[in-house]
Structure 1
């Protein structure tokens, strides 16, 4: 119960890593605020948490639309009166080589994966400053460390969220707010369901541990960073890749 009574907002929480994180936080005692564009997915995760004896509320949130973020923050404060954790997990991919990438593809990924992190953090920072406490974790990627073929937009966003986290660390650290970044490697999420088996096999072969990561393994890292056990971890960039980057 390392997150007992902490009010934790998780974006992109309807599936994959976000869903695993919401369930993990609930098991650790957090009051979970489940956020995603997919209302049915939000309702499903909230129901799972409550059925397991946890506490959760849910909101349909588009991280590119400040009014939906504001409604979520207002609802969270009305219900719980504080915000202890923000997990900036929402993200999309729209891959293409530089030659073929459209401006719309570039802008959409930047809006969700980079500007969305800014929007959500901006919406909660004054609350955390008033509390003199808080933990913010940005979901970056191994692509945010080394780039990747066909992912100009995604790499730019994932490099960017690390830069923002390091900047916020400098600005907010003396005020009781910690900010860190997590870089997942190849993780077995629904985003891989349409990939050919041979491509997934090649991904596994590149990892020294010989397998893809599990969403729960990222969730465990988020939970640790949100907890008081990580009280002196600030401005860190933590790879959860199975050794992929060696």
Structure 2
């Protein structure tokens, strides 16, 4: 979304008006796009990221547009940091209505080049971090008897791909966690869903280089990369009351990749 197309103020009657939403990995990419979209829909935001400078910049921009924003820097792989994040969200806003468990890393490595350290780091962020985020946000939602969690999975959780010997299995964790928590929390009023993006135009994907991007784009029937705003729209739907009878779903946002 261009600077000129962003609304100047927050919504006064949006789809998640006055809902308190915690978004991890909010400083860039799909996390930032989701924060911007949620702001236009009237949410109160708790933004988390490891990058303090970028996080503060996003929070400052959204605050200037009239959104109520709390920025909390930290590492989601750290249990203490995740507890602090959720505690500060509750201390500031009184509750947590929505969690967007978005933070993650996207390493490229085949089996031969992958190291045990890379595996451990990826699973710590993409697996352990998502688990901890869900665990401590859900604890607050259960107290209220309601809430919505949206996890970020990937097409790599469903289709084998070259060079994804580490990242792909980590996203299997995201999809599996979504389904199991959906059942575990259903009778407590908490819905848990996920989105599975294809190749999205984010800074992380840009690191693949022109040749790499062209190759993966050619695998998507719609013939292009997705935009972060398109993923944010799917996340918004699943987090909103419009999806009140949906839990345990993993929604592809992939330009037809998984339909093949």
TM-score interval (norm. to shorter)? over 0.9
Q: Which residue number in structure 2 is paired with residue 18 of structure 1?
A: 31
Q: Which residue number in structure 1 is paired with residue 105 of structure 2?
A: 92
Structure 1 stretches of at least 4 aligned residues deviating more than 3 Å after TM superposition: none
Helix, strand or coil at the partner of 2:167: helix
Which structure 2 segments of 5+ residues have no match?
1-13
Q: Distance in 2 between matches of 1:29 and 1:68?
A: 27
Q: What TM-score do the two structures reach when normalised by structure 1?
A: 0.97
Worse-matched range after superposition: 72-81 or 187-196: 187-196
Worse-matched range after superposition: 144-153 or 78-87: 144-153
The offset of 1:98, in angstroms, is 0.9
Q: Which residue number in structure 1 is paired with residue 203 of structure 2?
A: 190
Q: Distance in 1 between matches of 2:197 and 2:234?
A: 10
The offset of 1:90, in angstroms, is 0.5
Q: Which residue number in structure 1 is paired with residue 175 of structure 2?
A: 162
Q: Distance in 1 between matches of 2:221 and 2:66?
A: 38
Q: Which residue number in structure 1 is paired with residue 217 of structure 2?
A: 204
Helix, strand or coil at the partner of 2:166: helix
Which deviations, in whole Å up to 9, do the C-alpha atoms of 1:85-112 show, x marking residues without a partner? 1111001022211122110011000010
Aligned residues of 2:27 and 2:55 also touching (Cα < 8 A): yes
Superposition RMSD in Å: 1.1
Which structure 1 segments of 5+ residues have no match?
none
Q: Distance in 2 between matches of 1:87 and 1:57?
A: 15
Q: Which residue number in structure 1 is paired with residue 52 of structure 2?
A: 39
Aligned residues of 2:130 and 2:174 also touching (Cα < 8 A): yes
The offset of 1:201, in angstroms, is 2.2
Helix, strand or coil at the partner of 2:150: strand
Helix, strand or coil at the partner of 1:181: strand
Helix, strand or coil at the partner of 1:120: helix
Q: Do structure 1's residue 29 and structure 2's residue 47 form an aligned pair? A: no
Q: Do structure 1's residue 69 and structure 2's residue 86 form an aligned pair? A: no
Helix, strand or coil at the partner of 2:99: strand
Helix, strand or coil at the partner of 1:180: strand
Q: Distance in 2 between matches of 1:53 and 1:194?
A: 33
Q: Which residue number in structure 2 is paired with residue 146 of structure 1?
A: 159
Q: Which residue number in structure 2 is paired with residue 108 of structure 1?
A: 121
Worse-matched range after superposition: 52-61 or 33-42: 52-61
Q: Do structure 1's residue 236 and structure 2's residue 249 form an aligned pair? A: yes
Aligned residues of 2:206 and 2:213 also touching (Cα < 8 A): no
Q: Distance in 2 between matches of 1:194 and 1:146?
A: 22
Return closer, same or farther for 1:194/1:153 CA change in 2, 3 Å cut-off.
closer
